[in-house]
Amino acid sequence: MKIQEILGTFSKSISSFPVKCIVKDIEAELSIELVGQIQPNHPGVVLGDEPLFEFEKIVGTLVDELNTFGKRFDNNNFLMQLHSEINEKEYELHYFKLDRIELLSSKVLLISESDEMIELKERLEYPEYE
């Protein structure tokens, strides 16, 4: 989905509703930790088990954040980034395309039904601290 499609769908929801994410093959609702440019010219969200801060993302806040993206992001898919730990030194970043949004009676779900975008997968090392 593109940002304008997302904003159009959010306009039909209540701004105080929490936003959660579902990724194919993961059987849990994930929280949004961060909204930003997660790949060159690709807007998206970083997912986690718990919100990074003490509050969950809500529709109104997410709309405000999406409205900060410039025109160069308009034609690119909105992505969801998921972190998985390989071992104590390495981790991977997995990327999924947002396919649809489901408006429920008390929350909004961002849903990826597509397979992982393998071409974007990254394997990284944790920084070493002395």
Question: What per-residue string of b and e applies to 20-56 under the rule 16 or more CB within 10 Å gives b?
Answer: bbbbeeeeeebbbbebeebbeebbbbbbbeeeeeeee
Res 51 pLDDT > 70: no
Q: How confident is the model at residue 2 (pLDDT cuts 50, 70, 90)?
A: very high
Q: How many domains does the chain have?
A: 1
Residue type, 52: L
Question: Does the predicted TM-score (pTM) go above 0.85?
Answer: yes
Asked if the structure places residue 130 within a domain, the reply is no
Give residue 95's pLDDT.
Answer: 95
Tens of pLDDT, residues 84-130: 999 999 999 999 999 999 999 999 999 999 999 999 999 999 988 77
Q: How confident is the model at residue 53 (pLDDT cuts 50, 70, 90)?
A: low
Asked if the structure places residue 125 within a domain, the reply is no
Q: Which domain holds residue 44?
A: 3-114
Is residue 110 a contact partner of residue 20, using CB atoms and an 8 Å limit?
yes
Q: Compute the C-alpha angle 111/117/121, nearest 5°.
A: 120
Asked if the structure places residue 21 within a domain, the reply is yes
Is residue 95 a contact partner of residue 81, using CB atoms and an 8 Å limit?
yes
